[in-house]
Structures are given as structure tokens and as C-alpha cells.
Structure 1
Amino acid sequence: MKPKKFLSGLPKIFRRRGNPFLRKTELSGISLKHNFFISGITMSESLQSRPFFIIGAQRSGTTLLRLMLNAHSQVAIPEEGGFWKPLLRQFKKAPRKAIAGRELEGYLRYLRDDPQFKLWLMDSTDLFEAIQNDAPLTLTDLMERTYRYYASSNGKMIWGDKSPSFFRMIPTLSTLFPHAFFIHIIRDGRDLFLSWRKMERNKRNVSLVALEWLFKVKKARNDLKRIGQERYMEIRYEDLVSMPDPILKNVCTLVGIEYEPGMLSYWKTSDQFIGAHHSDLIFKPVSTTSVAKWKRGMTQAELDKFEWVAGGLLKDCGYELSGSSQGGIGRIATGISELAYGLPLRGAEVFLTVANQHLSSRYGFQLYSPPVGSEAKGRATRT
């Protein structure tokens, strides 16, 4: 399609400013230097082509970090993008496959109707029209243009993503976005258990939660090591809330932006980016209130089971153990029985979620309607 004809169909604001966020992504020709610096490209180019992904087990502080970065004058991170997962799975082995015609129309319909995408609170009409006019596209094009459009609609230049479940998608995302950065945030799994237990009834199996936390952290770590040390950083939630200034400066260095002190005032604008169903701590200045809550919130029996499953990783991440003898054979046996009961149920839950997303993205119908937003998180209070 000719540029003039394409531009004539866009709102005047985009024609006047030559909006770059509706154009196909060109990531070739970018060279990297160590220590997170970019050579051979201008700052404006780097701002448009260096996205980042915040990953970590749910309730690890990913939302807090997202809000801190959103308070930066040039960074825009929407609500979670879990709806991309069926596409990421489908194009895992063919990341450069062209998408056009009915296939593209189906995916755009899927995005438009997805409840999670609606939480981005942006009018995607012009974006999707431009994408259809510019077909064929790759999945990289489709994702990047969607994120860039979100950033542009918020007056920002740099886009990021905060989808904790993308810990499974690091190799695919790394291939689709070969110059993207990853920020892995880790929180003490025992505090994470307390937070999950408040939020979801099926997260009360302490041995299963310990195993899930262990799997998610190790999976992310192993995959991140494979993509290269210069492309990711690991931070602990406890460090972020106890010394946010130096941690945020390191994050900004990784992403390639100037640190802004106003990022610590994120809580003043939290209501612009998230709903009231989140922890009320998100709407207050950063504090260490939620650090080491396990010391007063978990029984010794629960601690014994959690540390039996994930004690080694807790120590590896720098967390102290409870100091007990881990309960002996009796509590270990209880932990084994919890895993024997909980693992099949958790496996079935994951299978249904994957199948539901696949059917929705490919065929336009669902086995069930998953809870989103306040329906999914409304029971969470202070975490």
C-alpha cells in the first residue's frame, strides 16, 4: 500500500506528526556493547527499539516495579499481556512467519475482545486498521506496534511489559525481540505464599506453592542465563523496597534511560494505571511493611514444609531459613501427600488455561470465561 494512501486514512494527529508507532519495526543493524550501552544508533532510535520485559512469580513485586517505571517521563508499561501467550506458543518454531488475511483478522478480533487487553484502556481502532493495511506482518511487528501505540497514546517513547507469566516465554521473546532486556524480580517465597493464600483459595497448599515458586524462579534463571548476561538483571523485592533509589538507577542503566527521582513518587499516579483491587500499599510511598511477614504469618509446620521443598533456593537467593529442624519425617510425609494431591490439580488447571487461550485465539470461543481484574484479584488486600 502506498504511504500517502495509508496516511490519508489515519487521524490528523498522526499525519501531522508522522507518528512512528504505527510503522513496521526495523530492528536490524543494532549492535550491542557490554554494560548495557548501545553503539551505532542514536538515542531516539534506542528509545524506540529497546523494549524490556518484567518477569517473576506472581505477587513478587512486578506491579510495584511497573508503577515505578511508569512514573518515568519516557516509559509506558500497560496492564499484563498474558493474551499474547497462545500466539507466542504458536509462533515459537516459526517466529518470522508472515501473518495476513483471515489469520490476521482473527488475531485482531481476539485481541479486541480479550478482557485483559481491554484493561489497557486504549482505543485500538486506528492501530488495528493500520496493521491490516500493512499486512503481511510478523508476530514481532504485531506485538511491537501494539506496545508502541500504547506508549504513544500515553505520550511516551519507550515501551515495556509486565506479565509475570512470561517467565515461560523467555526463549521465544528473546528470539522475537533480540535486543530486548529482561528484569527478573524475586521475592521470598514464604511471603509470596502468604500473599497467594489471601488472594486465591487454591493457593493454600504450602508444599505445592513452594514447588511452584521453586520452578518459576529456576526456570526464569536458567533461560535468562542462556540469552546472555548483558540482556538481563535480577533484583529482589526486598532490596527494591528497602533501597529503591540505587535499584531503580541500575534498572534505568540497563534499559538505557536517565534516572528520574520522580519515579519514587509513583504512588501519586498509581490510580492512573491500576484498579483499586490491588494491594493498598501500591497507593502509598514505598515501605518494607511486606518484608519477612512469614516470621509472624506462617506456622512452624508450614515453614517446615516450605523449606523442605525450596530451602535450597531460599538460601541461594540470600534468604534466611526459619532455623528449625524441618519437622522430621512426619511433616515431610505431610508435604509429600500435599504434592501428591495438589500437583495433578495444578496440572489440570494449567492445561485448561492453555487450551482455553488457544481456542479463543484460533477459533473465537472459550471453554470458560477466566476471571480478570477485580474478579481475579478482588480478594487481595494488603500483601
Structure 2
Amino acid sequence: MNTSFLESPTFLIGAERSGTTLLRLMLSHHSQIAWCNEFEYVIDQVSDNAQFPKVSDYQDWLKTHRIFQATGFEVSPNLTYGELVQSFLQQKQAQEQKPVVGATVHRHFDRLLAIWPNARFIHIVRDPRDVARSCIGMGWAGNVWTGSQRWLEAEQDWEALKQTLPVNNYVEISYENLIREPQTVLTQLANFLGVAYDPAMLQYNQDTTYDQPDSSFLNQWRRKLGDREIQLVESRVGDLLLQRGYEASGLPTIQLTSSQIKSLKLQDWWARANFRLQRYGAVLFTLNYITSRLPLRAWRDRIQLKINQIDLEYIK
């Protein structure tokens, strides 16, 4: 198996709800491309100053990590942290017997360079007004003002990382272009990855729940958000909206007072708590709250595993 792709793997980065899952499915249906889904478990325990976690602690943490546990990757106890997370890509490559390997990451992009200094990146961006709206539906936010935070943080992180990269080490695309011209964009990405375009990249709908690209579903914010909600997002993301190639709505710009911001944060907290209460039930919700704040690892892990099992029922 070719190891060159392991020395400089490619990461698909962007905010959650920006089309990363759809693009990952397209890439992984290529006959020569293997792609890991959410790969944050390799960097969430790395500090901002690139300090790696203690390997034994990291291995314990992985035991209740729902996404990692679904990979089937083995954890060798004799590897350093860098060697261990590198082995995950090696195992993915071996599982699928494909030469090109990559992974999706939604946050802390710069930490990847501490492990893979020669990493390459595919950055995907979607209209933040659609991202914010979608985050509410996932139970991650209680309103579009807080829902836009994930987009804002991801784009700010990318802006900083981009300045440190050679121009040949990244490519930028938009979700909207991917939907409008999928073959053109996928051909560009295949070339970036060093392979030819494969028509199978657009056959993902045959064995997943995702439909073929449909441009009629773009810009849903125009139909599903009220004027006040649009103004809230645009006030939060500021000039980044235009910098990423999106047009402002033309609605008057608003300035929020400190009390209005506090109210939005309170609404957000309540909505997210209520979402979890409805999904997990009162008992599990309460136990999760208690065990997450007490040094009761075994009990906390049992509760987390129960939550993971429920979450699996909602994964599309």
C-alpha cells in the first residue's frame, strides 16, 4: 500500500452543516479514495500550544467516544501519541485497500499540523445563514445567533491557518458550487488528490440516505428564516459573509445590546437543554449532568455509553 499519502494526508475542513458529510461520501465512493468521517478525536485532546495528551489517558477517553468506537480501529498500547493517531489513517487505508486516505475535521484545524506538518486541506464553506438554521435542527443551537458561532469559528480558524500554508497545499470550494456543478468540482478535487475523476463519486445515493445534488435546496434561508433571524446571523458573521463570496440580504444592519445578547444566550441554553431532555429522558439527562461534574469515571462512562447508543438511532 502506498504510504506517501500517509506522510501528507488531506483533511476536509469546514464548519459542521457545511456539506462535509455529503462531500465525504462523494470522495469515499472513488475507487482509490478512503475517507474517515469526523476525525476530531485525534486533535480534541491536543492543547492549543500543540501539547499531546498522555497516551494512557487518551486511550481511556477513546473508550466512550462514539465516533471512534464505530471505526473499528485498534489501539496499540505501545505507540506514542503521534504514532497512534497516524495508525488510524493506516488502518483506514488497509480496511478499504485504497491508496489515497483523508479525514474530515470541523475544528482546531491548526492542531493537525503538529501531527502532520505536510498536511493538505480541502476547505468547504457554505452560506452561514443556512448553517445557522441547520444547527438548530440538530439541537446544537437554540437560535441562529448562537448557531452561526460554529461557522464563524471555523472560518476564522481557516483564515489563520491558510496564511501558514503553501498555496499548493490547499484548495477552497463552496457547498453551493458543489451542488450546482458537482462533476466539475469533484474533478478539481480528484486532481488535487492526484487521481482521475471517477463517475462512482456521484453514485453515493445508491447505498446511502443522501440524495443526488439538487440546486433547488440551496439558499433555504431565504424561505425559512425571518428578517430578524437573517439580521442576527449577518450581524454575527460580519464581513466574513462577503469575504466568502456571499451577498448580504440588504436588510438594515442591527447592533445588539448586552441585554439582548444575554437573552439570546439564555434562550440558546434552554433550547439545547430541552433538546437533550427530550432525546435522552429525564433520568439519563440528569445522570449525565451529575456525572460530568464529579470524579466518577466508571459511572460517567456507563452513562456516556447509554447516550451514545441513543445518538446512534438518530444518525442519518
Taking the aligned partners of 1:163 and 1:377, their CA distance within structure 2 comes to 23
Question: For 1:166-177, what aligned pairs fall within 5 Å after superposition?
Answer: 167-168=107-108, 170-177=109-116
Residue aligning to 1:5:
none
Aligned residues: 294
3-state SS in 2 of match to 1:235: strand
Matched, 1:300 2:300: no
Matched, 1:111 2:35: no
Matched, 1:196 2:135: yes
How far has the Cα of 1:203 moved from its partner? 1.4
Residue aligning to 2:37:
79
3-state SS in 1 of match to 2:47: helix
Taking the aligned partners of 2:228 and 2:300, their CA distance within structure 1 comes to 40
Q: What do residues 263-316 of structure 1 show as CA deviations (whole Å, max 9, x unaligned)?
A: 11122233xxxxxxxxx5x2x212223311011111111112222222422111
Question: For 1:1-383, what aligned pairs fall within 5 Å after superposition?
Answer: 44-89=2-47, 92-93=50-51, 104-120=55-71, 122=72, 124=73, 127-128=74-75, 131-132=76-77, 135=78, 137-164=79-106, 167-168=107-108, 170-200=109-139, 203-270=141-208, 280=209, 282=210, 284-326=211-253, 332-333=255-256, 336-342=258-264, 366=300, 369=304, 371-372=307-308, 375=311, 378=314
3-state SS in 1 of match to 2:45: helix
CA RMSD of aligned residues (A): 3.4
How far has the Cα of 1:61 moved from its partner? 0.3
Taking the aligned partners of 1:64 and 1:373, their CA distance within structure 2 comes to 23
3-state SS in 1 of match to 2:122: strand
Taking the aligned partners of 2:165 and 2:11, their CA distance within structure 1 comes to 13
Opposite residue 178 of structure 2, the aligned amino acid is: L
Opposite residue 256 of structure 1, the aligned amino acid is: G
Taking the aligned partners of 1:230 and 1:365, their CA distance within structure 2 comes to 48
| Larger gyration radius, structure 1 or structure 2 | 1
Q: What do residues 204-258 of structure 1 show as CA deviations (whole Å, max 9, x unaligned)?
A: 3222233442232122221222233221122110011111112112212222222
Shift in CA distance, 175/247, structure 1 to aligned 2, threshold 3 Å: same
How far has the Cα of 1:114 moved from its partner? 2.6
Opposite residue 235 of structure 1, the aligned amino acid is: I
Q: What do residues 105-124 of structure 1 show as CA deviations (whole Å, max 9, x unaligned)?
A: 5544443443221222x2x4
Structure 2 portions without partners, runs of 5+: 273-287
Taking the aligned partners of 1:106 and 1:306, their CA distance within structure 2 comes to 39
3-state SS in 1 of match to 2:12: strand
The farther-off stretch of 316-325 and 181-190 is 316-325
Taking the aligned partners of 2:220 and 2:67, their CA distance within structure 1 comes to 31
Taking the aligned partners of 2:247 and 2:313, their CA distance within structure 1 comes to 29
Opposite residue 38 of structure 2, the aligned amino acid is: E
Shift in CA distance, 252/50, structure 1 to aligned 2, threshold 3 Å: farther
3-state SS in 2 of match to 1:369: helix
Taking the aligned partners of 2:126 and 2:146, their CA distance within structure 1 comes to 17
Give yes or no for contact 1:91–1:139 (8 Å, CA) kept in 2.
Answer: no
Shift in CA distance, 205/317, structure 1 to aligned 2, threshold 3 Å: same
TM-score where L is the length of structure 1:
0.66
Percent of residue pairs identical: 26
How far has the Cα of 1:63 moved from its partner? 0.2
How far has the Cα of 1:158 moved from its partner? 2.3
Taking the aligned partners of 1:222 and 1:346, their CA distance within structure 2 comes to 28
Give yes or no for contact 1:51–1:160 (8 Å, CA) kept in 2.
Answer: yes
How far has the Cα of 1:68 moved from its partner? 0.5
Shift in CA distance, 364/185, structure 1 to aligned 2, threshold 3 Å: farther
Opposite residue 70 of structure 1, the aligned amino acid is: S
Shift in CA distance, 222/375, structure 1 to aligned 2, threshold 3 Å: same
Give yes or no for contact 2:143–2:267 (8 Å, CA) kept in 1.
Answer: no
3-state SS in 2 of match to 1:289: helix
3-state SS in 2 of match to 1:333: coil
Taking the aligned partners of 1:113 and 1:206, their CA distance within structure 2 comes to 30
The farther-off stretch of 236-245 and 338-347 is 338-347
Taking the aligned partners of 1:377 and 1:222, their CA distance within structure 2 comes to 37
Q: What do residues 5-41 of structure 1 show as CA deviations (whole Å, max 9, x unaligned)?
A: xxxxxxxxxxxxxxx6xxxxxxxxxxxxxxxxxxxxx
How far has the Cα of 1:160 moved from its partner? 1.1
Give yes or no for contact 2:16–2:151 (8 Å, CA) kept in 1.
Answer: no
3-state SS in 2 of match to 1:87: coil
